[in-house]
């Protein structure tokens, strides 16, 4: 994901392939952890 420059929307789209109904919970869980770990940064458009 990082190497390919995916955004959060692309991640969520890919999650639907793997997790189907659990996508919102999985996405929020990862997002919360990334914020906690300071792994996110603003990407200039």
Global pTM reads 0.59
Neighbours of 34 (CB within 10 A): 12
pLDDT in tens, 20-39: 788 888 888 988 998 899 88
Handedness of CA 14, 19, 21, 27 (dihedral sign): negative
Q: What is the pLDDT of residue 33?
A: 92
What does the alpha-carbon distance between residue 22 and residue 37 come to, in Å, rounded to a whole number? Answer: 23
CB within 8 A of 35, min separation 6: which ones?
A: none
């Amino acid at each position: 994901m990082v190497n390919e420059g995916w955004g959060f929307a692309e991640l969520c789209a890919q999650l639907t392939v793997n997790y189907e109904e659990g996508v919102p919970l999985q996405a929020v869980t990862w997002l919360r952890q990334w914020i906690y770990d300071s792994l996110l940064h603003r990407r200039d458009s």
